[in-house]
Amino acid sequence: MPNTVGPLSGTYVLITRPVKLASRTAERLAVLGATTFIFPTILIKPPADKTQVKAALVSLQGVYAIIFVSPSAVEMALTDDIKLPHSIKVFAPGLGTAEELNLRGVNNVLIPSKNYDSEGLLELSKLQSACVNGRHILIFRGNGGRELLCDELVQRGAQVEVITAYDRCIPTTPPTGLINLLTAKKITAVSIMSSSAVKNLVTLVPKKDCKDILFSLPVYASHKRIKVAAEALGFLNVIKAGPGDTGLIAALLNLKN
C-alpha cells in the first residue's frame, strides 16, 4: 500500500539490490514515507567451492589485513560466529560494508574518508607500499570482481590472496510483477548500487518496455562508474547519488525539496 506520511511520501522506489540488503534499504525508505518495490537483479549464492573461504579463515596467522569489498562478502564469509583477531587490520570500501562488519562485532574497520571504492581504499595510509610490502593480505569478494585492488597491492609488494566468498548471478524468474509495475507507471525512481545490477535489469526487462518506460525513469546511481554504465545502456535521467542507503535517501530528499 502507498505510504502517505513522511518527507518521501509519493515517491515509489524500485530497489534492485540483493534481497537482504534490499530489505534493509526498503525499511529505511519506508520510515521516511516512500513506497518501495524490491526486485533484486542480482542473486547472491555461496561459492561452488566453500573450502577456500573456510581455509582462509581457519589459518589467519601472519595475515596483515583483510579487505571485504561488499556487504555480501561479509555476510557470506563471516558465518558460524567467526571472530577476527584484533591484530588484523580490516578494511571496507564504504559505510554499507563497514555496517555489515559492525553487526558481526568487527568494529576496528578502516574505510576511505572519500571515494568509497577500490580507489579510495588504495589511498589509505595503511595500504601504502611502506606498510604492505611483504605482508599477507586477504581480499574477500564476489566472482568476477574488479582486479584493480589486487593488482595495485601486488605492485606495492603485498602477498595478496583473493577469495571468492560468493557467486553473483542473474535471476531466472520471469519479471512479470516488475513489468506490471512499469506498465501501470507505479515506479517514480530506480535505485542502482552496482554496475551488474543495472546491466541485469536491462537484460530482464523486454526491449520494448526498456525503450518505452524504463529508460525515461529517474535512476539513482550510487557511484559515478554506475552512472556511466546506466547512461551507456540507454537511461536518460541518471542522478549521481552518494554511496549506500544514506546517499540514496539524501538524493531523494533533495529532489523532493
The tens-digit pLDDT sequence of the chain (257 residues) is: 666 679 999 999 999 999 999 999 999 999 999 999 999 999 999 998 889 999 999 889 999 999 999 999 999 999 877 889 999 999 999 999 999 999 999 999 999 988 899 999 999 999 999 999 999 999 999 998 789 999 999 999 999 999 999 999 999 989 999 999 999 999 999 999 999 999 999 999 999 999 999 999 999 999 999 999 999 999 999 999 999 999 999 999 998 76
Q: What are 82's three cell numbers? A: 567467526
Distance, C-alpha 183 to centroid of its chain: 28
Distance CA 227, CA 25 (A): 19
Cα distance between residue 40 and residue 170, in whole Å: 9
Q: What is the pLDDT of residue 1?
A: 60
Please choose, from the candidates 93, 99, 139, the residue with its C-alpha nearest in 3D space to the C-alpha of residue 113: 93
Same fold: 12-42+171-256 with 45-168: yes
Q: Rounded to 5 degrees, what are φ and ψ at 179?
A: -60, -40
* Model pTM score: 0.90
What is the CATH topology of the domain spanning 12-42+171-256?
Rossmann fold (3.40.50)
19-31 helix and 244-256 helix, angle to the nearest 10 degrees: 40
CA distance 159 to 140: 14
Q: Which long-range contacts (CB under 8 A, 24 or more apart) does 30-35 make?
A: 30/3, 31/6, 32/6, 32/7, 32/8, 32/249, 32/253, 33/3, 33/4, 33/5, 33/6, 33/7, 33/8, 33/9, 34/3, 34/6, 34/8, 34/9, 34/252, 35/1, 35/2, 35/3, 35/11
The whole-angstrom separation of Cα 26 and Cα 224 is 23
Q: What is the pLDDT of residues 59-69, one digit of tens each?
A: 899 999 999 99
Helix 195-204 with 224-233: angle, nearest 10 deg: 20
Say how far apart CA 41 and CA 109 lie, in whole Å. 29
Residue type, 246: T
The CATH code that applies to domain 45-168 is 3.40.50.10090
Which residue ranges make up each domain of the chain? 12-42+171-256, 45-168
Residue 256: predicted pLDDT: 73
